[in-house]
Structure 1
Amino acid sequence: MKKYAIDYSHSTIGFSVRHMMISQIHGTFESYHAEFTVSDIEQMQDAKISFLIIVASVSTKNFDRDVHLVSPDFFDADVYPKIHFESTYIEKLENNIFAIHGDLTIKNITKPVIFTTMYVGRGMNPWSQEVYGFQARSKIDRRDFNLVYNTLLETGGVLISDEIEIVVDLEINPV
Protein backbone atom coordinates (compact mmCIF):
# COMPACT_ATOMS: atom_id res chain seq x y z
CA MET A 1 0.00 0.00 0.00
CA LYS A 2 1.26 3.46 -0.89
CA LYS A 3 0.53 6.69 0.95
CA TYR A 4 -0.56 9.89 -0.80
CA ALA A 5 -0.66 13.49 0.34
CA ILE A 6 -2.97 16.32 -0.68
CA ASP A 7 -1.59 19.28 -2.57
CA TYR A 8 -3.57 21.83 -0.54
CA SER A 9 -2.88 24.69 -2.95
CA HIS A 10 -4.65 22.75 -5.72
CA SER A 11 -7.47 21.11 -3.75
CA THR A 12 -10.82 22.23 -2.33
CA ILE A 13 -13.44 20.86 0.02
CA GLY A 14 -16.58 22.76 -0.88
CA PHE A 15 -20.32 22.76 -0.40
CA SER A 16 -23.36 24.55 -1.73
CA VAL A 17 -26.87 25.14 -0.44
CA ARG A 18 -29.95 26.78 -1.93
CA HIS A 19 -30.73 30.18 -0.36
CA MET A 20 -34.28 31.58 -0.32
CA MET A 21 -35.13 28.84 -2.83
CA ILE A 22 -33.60 30.92 -5.67
CA SER A 23 -29.81 31.05 -5.45
CA GLN A 24 -26.88 28.82 -4.48
CA ILE A 25 -24.49 29.83 -1.72
CA HIS A 26 -21.04 28.23 -1.98
CA GLY A 27 -18.54 27.66 0.78
CA THR A 28 -15.30 25.88 1.54
CA PHE A 29 -13.42 24.50 4.49
CA GLU A 30 -9.93 25.96 4.46
CA SER A 31 -8.31 23.72 7.07
CA TYR A 32 -8.36 19.95 6.80
CA HIS A 33 -6.15 16.89 6.84
CA ALA A 34 -6.52 13.71 4.83
CA GLU A 35 -4.88 10.32 4.70
CA PHE A 36 -4.88 8.12 1.61
CA THR A 37 -3.42 4.66 1.32
CA VAL A 38 -3.98 2.46 -1.72
CA SER A 39 -2.09 -0.12 -3.73
CA ASP A 40 -3.21 1.22 -7.16
CA ILE A 41 -4.35 4.85 -7.14
CA GLU A 42 -6.01 4.55 -10.55
CA GLN A 43 -8.12 1.54 -9.49
CA MET A 44 -8.97 2.78 -5.97
CA GLN A 45 -10.89 -0.28 -4.77
CA ASP A 46 -8.61 -1.09 -1.83
CA ALA A 47 -8.14 2.56 -0.84
CA LYS A 48 -8.42 3.70 2.75
CA ILE A 49 -9.43 7.36 2.90
CA SER A 50 -9.83 9.56 5.96
CA PHE A 51 -10.62 13.29 6.22
CA LEU A 52 -10.56 15.52 9.28
CA ILE A 53 -12.04 18.99 8.68
CA ILE A 54 -11.72 21.93 11.05
CA VAL A 55 -15.23 23.42 11.32
CA ALA A 56 -14.03 26.91 12.28
CA SER A 57 -12.25 27.14 8.91
CA VAL A 58 -15.56 27.45 7.05
CA SER A 59 -15.61 30.26 4.50
CA THR A 60 -18.53 31.54 2.44
CA LYS A 61 -16.80 34.86 1.73
CA ASN A 62 -19.22 36.57 4.10
CA PHE A 63 -17.88 37.18 7.61
CA ASP A 64 -21.28 37.45 9.35
CA ARG A 65 -22.57 34.28 7.70
CA ASP A 66 -19.36 32.41 8.59
CA VAL A 67 -19.69 33.47 12.24
CA HIS A 68 -23.31 32.27 12.19
CA LEU A 69 -22.28 28.91 10.68
CA VAL A 70 -19.83 28.16 13.51
CA SER A 71 -22.36 29.25 16.16
CA PRO A 72 -24.68 26.87 18.06
CA ASP A 73 -27.38 27.56 15.42
CA PHE A 74 -25.39 25.43 12.95
CA PHE A 75 -22.09 23.61 13.52
CA ASP A 76 -21.51 24.71 17.14
CA ALA A 77 -17.76 24.65 16.50
CA ASP A 78 -16.83 25.24 20.15
CA VAL A 79 -18.49 21.95 21.10
CA TYR A 80 -17.99 20.04 17.82
CA PRO A 81 -14.78 21.42 16.30
CA LYS A 82 -14.24 18.72 13.67
CA ILE A 83 -16.00 16.92 10.83
CA HIS A 84 -14.72 13.45 10.04
CA PHE A 85 -15.07 11.12 7.05
CA GLU A 86 -13.79 7.55 6.95
CA SER A 87 -14.19 5.33 3.88
CA THR A 88 -15.70 1.89 4.47
CA TYR A 89 -15.48 0.43 0.95
CA ILE A 90 -15.11 1.50 -2.65
CA GLU A 91 -16.83 0.08 -5.69
CA LYS A 92 -15.96 0.69 -9.33
CA LEU A 93 -19.02 1.94 -11.23
CA GLU A 94 -17.46 2.36 -14.65
CA ASN A 95 -14.17 3.43 -16.19
CA ASN A 96 -12.67 6.13 -13.91
CA ILE A 97 -15.89 6.43 -11.82
CA PHE A 98 -16.09 5.04 -8.29
CA ALA A 99 -18.55 5.05 -5.42
CA ILE A 100 -16.70 5.78 -2.20
CA HIS A 101 -18.85 4.58 0.68
CA GLY A 102 -18.07 5.86 4.12
CA ASP A 103 -19.14 7.30 7.42
CA LEU A 104 -19.51 11.07 7.79
CA THR A 105 -19.53 12.49 11.31
CA ILE A 106 -20.83 16.01 11.98
CA LYS A 107 -21.73 17.15 15.52
CA ASN A 108 -20.96 13.62 16.81
CA ILE A 109 -23.66 12.18 14.53
CA THR A 110 -22.37 9.56 12.11
CA LYS A 111 -24.27 8.65 8.95
CA PRO A 112 -23.32 6.60 5.90
CA VAL A 113 -22.68 8.62 2.72
CA ILE A 114 -21.60 7.81 -0.81
CA PHE A 115 -19.29 10.04 -2.83
CA THR A 116 -19.50 9.52 -6.57
CA THR A 117 -15.88 10.02 -7.50
CA MET A 118 -14.21 10.56 -10.83
CA TYR A 119 -10.55 9.84 -11.36
CA VAL A 120 -9.64 12.82 -13.56
CA GLY A 121 -6.13 11.70 -14.49
CA ARG A 122 -2.47 12.03 -13.71
CA GLY A 123 0.35 14.32 -14.68
CA MET A 124 3.71 15.71 -13.65
CA ASN A 125 3.91 19.01 -11.82
CA PRO A 126 6.67 21.57 -12.57
CA TRP A 127 8.88 19.92 -9.89
CA SER A 128 8.76 16.53 -11.68
CA GLN A 129 6.43 15.08 -9.08
CA GLU A 130 3.64 12.77 -10.18
CA VAL A 131 0.15 14.09 -9.32
CA TYR A 132 -3.33 12.58 -9.55
CA GLY A 133 -6.67 14.36 -9.77
CA PHE A 134 -10.05 13.36 -8.35
CA GLN A 135 -13.45 14.99 -8.02
CA ALA A 136 -15.98 13.60 -5.54
CA ARG A 137 -19.62 14.64 -5.08
CA SER A 138 -22.29 13.78 -2.57
CA LYS A 139 -25.55 15.19 -1.25
CA ILE A 140 -26.64 15.08 2.36
CA ASP A 141 -29.69 16.23 4.28
CA ARG A 142 -28.34 18.64 6.88
CA ARG A 143 -31.13 17.72 9.31
CA ASP A 144 -29.58 14.24 9.59
CA PHE A 145 -26.66 15.92 11.37
CA ASN A 146 -28.74 18.22 13.60
CA LEU A 147 -28.04 21.27 11.40
CA VAL A 148 -31.64 22.43 11.70
CA TYR A 149 -31.62 26.24 11.85
CA ASN A 150 -34.04 27.76 9.32
CA THR A 151 -36.54 30.54 8.78
CA LEU A 152 -39.84 30.44 6.93
CA LEU A 153 -40.18 33.03 4.18
CA GLU A 154 -43.24 35.28 3.95
CA THR A 155 -43.48 34.37 0.27
CA GLY A 156 -43.48 30.65 1.09
CA GLY A 157 -40.63 28.22 1.37
CA VAL A 158 -37.59 28.40 3.59
CA LEU A 159 -34.46 30.52 3.87
CA ILE A 160 -32.06 27.55 3.60
CA SER A 161 -32.66 24.25 1.79
CA ASP A 162 -32.13 21.01 3.67
CA GLU A 163 -30.06 19.46 0.88
CA ILE A 164 -26.34 20.23 0.90
CA GLU A 165 -24.13 19.35 -2.04
CA ILE A 166 -20.54 18.49 -1.17
CA VAL A 167 -17.86 18.76 -3.85
CA VAL A 168 -14.27 17.71 -3.20
CA ASP A 169 -11.59 18.49 -5.80
CA LEU A 170 -8.26 16.90 -4.98
CA GLU A 171 -4.79 16.86 -6.39
CA ILE A 172 -2.72 14.27 -4.57
CA ASN A 173 0.81 12.92 -4.91
CA PRO A 174 2.76 9.95 -3.56
CA VAL A 175 4.55 10.48 -0.29
Structure 2
Amino acid sequence: MATIKWVADPAHSEVQFKVKHLMITTVTGYFEKFTIEAETSDDQFTDATKVTFTADINTINTNNDQRDTHLKSADFFDAENHNELRFEGTRYENVGGSDYKLHGDLTIRGITKPITLNVEFGGIVVDPYGQTKAGFTVTGKISRKEFGLIWNAVTEAGSVVVSDEIRLLVEVQLVKQG
Protein backbone atom coordinates (compact mmCIF):
# COMPACT_ATOMS: atom_id res chain seq x y z
CA MET A 1 0.00 0.00 0.00
CA ALA A 2 1.25 3.49 -0.83
CA THR A 3 2.34 5.87 1.89
CA ILE A 4 0.17 8.96 2.35
CA LYS A 5 2.00 12.13 3.33
CA TRP A 6 0.49 14.91 5.46
CA VAL A 7 1.84 18.34 6.45
CA ALA A 8 0.61 20.95 8.91
CA ASP A 9 -1.56 23.79 7.70
CA PRO A 10 0.13 26.65 9.59
CA ALA A 11 -2.91 28.93 9.28
CA HIS A 12 -5.00 26.41 11.23
CA SER A 13 -2.41 24.98 13.63
CA GLU A 14 -0.73 26.23 16.79
CA VAL A 15 1.86 24.95 19.23
CA GLN A 16 1.55 26.26 22.79
CA PHE A 17 3.24 25.58 26.09
CA LYS A 18 2.15 26.61 29.57
CA VAL A 19 4.27 27.04 32.68
CA LYS A 20 3.49 28.19 36.21
CA HIS A 21 5.04 31.52 37.21
CA LEU A 22 5.55 32.13 40.93
CA MET A 23 3.34 29.04 41.30
CA ILE A 24 0.23 31.25 41.27
CA THR A 25 -0.39 32.01 37.56
CA THR A 26 0.23 30.36 34.23
CA VAL A 27 2.21 31.93 31.41
CA THR A 28 1.42 30.76 27.87
CA GLY A 29 3.92 30.77 25.06
CA TYR A 30 3.98 29.48 21.53
CA PHE A 31 6.25 28.94 18.56
CA GLU A 32 5.53 31.11 15.53
CA LYS A 33 7.39 28.81 13.11
CA PHE A 34 7.14 25.03 13.19
CA THR A 35 6.65 22.05 10.90
CA ILE A 36 4.64 18.89 11.41
CA GLU A 37 4.81 16.03 8.95
CA ALA A 38 3.17 12.63 9.13
CA GLU A 39 2.89 9.51 7.02
CA THR A 40 0.04 7.01 7.15
CA SER A 41 -0.97 3.92 5.24
CA ASP A 42 -4.64 4.94 5.01
CA ASP A 43 -6.84 8.02 4.68
CA GLN A 44 -8.48 7.57 8.08
CA PHE A 45 -5.36 8.07 10.21
CA THR A 46 -5.74 4.70 11.92
CA ASP A 47 -1.96 4.55 11.93
CA ALA A 48 0.91 6.96 11.67
CA THR A 49 4.06 5.32 10.42
CA LYS A 50 6.04 8.53 10.79
CA VAL A 51 5.43 11.76 12.74
CA THR A 52 7.99 14.56 12.85
CA PHE A 53 7.66 17.93 14.55
CA THR A 54 10.20 20.74 14.62
CA ALA A 55 9.96 24.22 16.14
CA ASP A 56 12.25 27.19 15.53
CA ILE A 57 13.41 28.28 19.00
CA ASN A 58 14.08 31.80 17.70
CA THR A 59 10.33 32.22 17.11
CA ILE A 60 9.32 31.59 20.72
CA ASN A 61 6.71 34.12 21.79
CA THR A 62 5.27 34.69 25.27
CA ASN A 63 4.07 38.23 24.49
CA ASN A 64 6.98 39.66 26.48
CA ASP A 65 10.18 40.54 24.60
CA GLN A 66 12.41 40.48 27.68
CA ARG A 67 11.15 37.03 28.70
CA ASP A 68 11.44 35.73 25.12
CA THR A 69 15.07 36.90 24.95
CA HIS A 70 15.75 35.17 28.28
CA LEU A 71 14.13 31.94 27.03
CA LYS A 72 16.38 31.98 23.94
CA SER A 73 19.49 32.49 26.11
CA ALA A 74 21.81 29.82 27.52
CA ASP A 75 19.74 29.91 30.74
CA PHE A 76 16.97 28.06 28.88
CA PHE A 77 16.86 26.91 25.22
CA ASP A 78 20.33 28.20 24.21
CA ALA A 79 19.05 29.07 20.73
CA GLU A 80 22.51 30.12 19.57
CA ASN A 81 23.69 26.50 19.84
CA HIS A 82 20.36 24.63 19.67
CA ASN A 83 18.01 26.54 17.39
CA GLU A 84 15.50 23.72 16.95
CA LEU A 85 13.24 21.63 19.15
CA ARG A 86 12.45 18.24 17.56
CA PHE A 87 10.01 15.37 18.15
CA GLU A 88 10.22 12.06 16.28
CA GLY A 89 7.24 9.77 16.75
CA THR A 90 7.99 6.10 17.30
CA ARG A 91 4.51 4.63 17.86
CA TYR A 92 0.91 5.79 17.39
CA GLU A 93 -1.62 3.64 19.26
CA ASN A 94 -5.38 3.75 19.56
CA VAL A 95 -6.48 3.65 23.19
CA GLY A 96 -10.21 3.77 22.47
CA GLY A 97 -12.46 5.60 20.01
CA SER A 98 -10.84 8.83 18.84
CA ASP A 99 -8.17 8.75 21.59
CA TYR A 100 -4.58 7.84 20.79
CA LYS A 101 -1.16 7.86 22.43
CA LEU A 102 1.78 9.16 20.41
CA HIS A 103 5.08 7.87 21.73
CA GLY A 104 8.33 9.39 20.57
CA ASP A 105 11.62 11.10 21.29
CA LEU A 106 11.76 14.80 22.12
CA THR A 107 15.05 16.67 21.68
CA ILE A 108 15.67 20.01 23.39
CA ARG A 109 19.16 21.52 23.81
CA GLY A 110 20.68 18.37 22.33
CA ILE A 111 19.09 16.18 25.03
CA THR A 112 16.73 13.47 23.77
CA LYS A 113 14.17 11.81 26.04
CA PRO A 114 11.17 9.56 25.33
CA ILE A 115 7.76 11.14 25.93
CA THR A 116 4.15 10.12 25.42
CA LEU A 117 1.52 12.56 24.19
CA ASN A 118 -2.26 12.28 24.33
CA VAL A 119 -3.92 12.69 20.94
CA GLU A 120 -7.57 13.34 20.25
CA PHE A 121 -8.34 12.68 16.59
CA GLY A 122 -10.95 15.19 15.42
CA GLY A 123 -11.64 13.52 12.09
CA ILE A 124 -11.11 13.94 8.38
CA VAL A 125 -12.88 16.44 6.11
CA VAL A 126 -12.51 17.83 2.62
CA ASP A 127 -12.37 21.63 2.75
CA PRO A 128 -14.06 23.97 0.21
CA TYR A 129 -10.85 23.96 -1.87
CA GLY A 130 -10.82 20.17 -2.25
CA GLN A 131 -8.04 19.57 0.28
CA THR A 132 -8.33 16.56 2.58
CA LYS A 133 -7.58 17.62 6.16
CA ALA A 134 -7.16 15.73 9.43
CA GLY A 135 -7.59 17.47 12.79
CA PHE A 136 -5.96 16.72 16.13
CA THR A 137 -5.62 18.06 19.65
CA VAL A 138 -2.35 16.94 21.25
CA THR A 139 -1.59 17.39 24.94
CA GLY A 140 1.17 16.34 27.27
CA LYS A 141 3.53 17.30 30.06
CA ILE A 142 7.29 17.33 30.31
CA SER A 143 9.87 18.19 32.93
CA ARG A 144 11.93 21.08 31.58
CA LYS A 145 14.85 20.17 33.86
CA GLU A 146 15.17 16.76 32.15
CA PHE A 147 16.07 18.69 28.99
CA GLY A 148 18.66 20.96 30.57
CA LEU A 149 16.35 23.96 31.08
CA ILE A 150 17.38 24.27 34.71
CA TRP A 151 17.46 28.03 35.36
CA ASN A 152 15.33 29.13 38.26
CA ALA A 153 15.18 31.67 41.02
CA VAL A 154 13.54 31.79 44.42
CA THR A 155 11.54 34.72 45.79
CA GLU A 156 12.25 36.25 49.20
CA ALA A 157 9.36 34.19 50.56
CA GLY A 158 10.92 30.98 49.20
CA SER A 159 8.60 30.45 46.22
CA VAL A 160 9.94 29.03 42.98
CA VAL A 161 9.74 31.49 40.07
CA VAL A 162 9.25 28.95 37.24
CA SER A 163 7.74 25.47 37.61
CA ASP A 164 9.53 22.38 36.34
CA GLU A 165 6.39 21.01 34.67
CA ILE A 166 5.61 22.31 31.20
CA ARG A 167 2.18 21.58 29.75
CA LEU A 168 1.97 21.18 25.98
CA LEU A 169 -1.08 21.95 23.84
CA VAL A 170 -1.01 21.52 20.08
CA GLU A 171 -3.95 22.11 17.77
CA VAL A 172 -3.11 20.86 14.32
CA GLN A 173 -4.71 20.46 10.92
CA LEU A 174 -2.78 18.23 8.61
CA VAL A 175 -3.25 18.50 4.85
CA LYS A 176 -3.02 15.39 2.69
CA GLN A 177 -0.34 15.76 0.03
CA GLY A 178 -0.62 14.60 -3.57
Residue 131 of structure 1 and its aligned partner are, at CA, apart by: 1.4
The residue aligned with 1:62 is 64
CA RMSD across the alignment: 1.2
- The equivalent position to 2:99 in structure 1, one of 90, 97, 100, is 97
Cα pair 1:42 1:119 within 8 Å, conserved: no
Indicate whether 1:9 and 2:8 are aligned.
no
- Unpaired segments ≥5 residues, structure 1: none
**Secondary structure, counterpart of 1:9 in structure 2:** helix
**Secondary structure, counterpart of 2:92 in structure 1:** strand
Question: Structure 1 length as normaliser, TM-score?
Answer: 0.95
The residue aligned with 1:82 is 84
Question: Which structure 2 residues correspond to residues 1-175 of structure 1 after superposition, within 5 A?
Answer: 1-175=3-177
Alpha-carbon distance between aligned partners in 1 of 2:107 and 2:145, rounded to the nearest angstrom: 13
Residue 45 of structure 1 and its aligned partner are, at CA, apart by: 2.7
Question: Structure 2 length as normaliser, TM-score?
Answer: 0.94
> Which consecutive segments of 4 or more residues in structure 1 shift more than 4 A?
none
Count, aligned residues:
175
Cα pair 1:16 1:164 within 8 Å, conserved: yes
Alpha-carbon distance between aligned partners in 2 of 1:101 and 1:138, rounded to the nearest angstrom: 11
Could you say if the C-alpha distance between residues 47 and 41 of structure 1 is closer, same or farther in structure 2, counting changes exceeding 3 Å?
Answer: farther
**Secondary structure, counterpart of 1:127 in structure 2:** coil
Alpha-carbon distance between aligned partners in 1 of 2:151 and 2:42, rounded to the nearest angstrom: 42
Alpha-carbon distance between aligned partners in 2 of 1:44 and 1:82, rounded to the nearest angstrom: 29
Residue 35 of structure 1 and its aligned partner are, at CA, apart by: 1.7
Alpha-carbon distance between aligned partners in 2 of 1:44 and 1:143, rounded to the nearest angstrom: 34
Q: Deviations over 1:62-109 (max 9, x none)?
A: 111101100111101001111110011111111011100000000010
Q: Counterpart amino acid of 1:116? A: N
- Unpaired segments ≥5 residues, structure 2: none
Residue 156 of structure 1 and its aligned partner are, at CA, apart by: 2.7
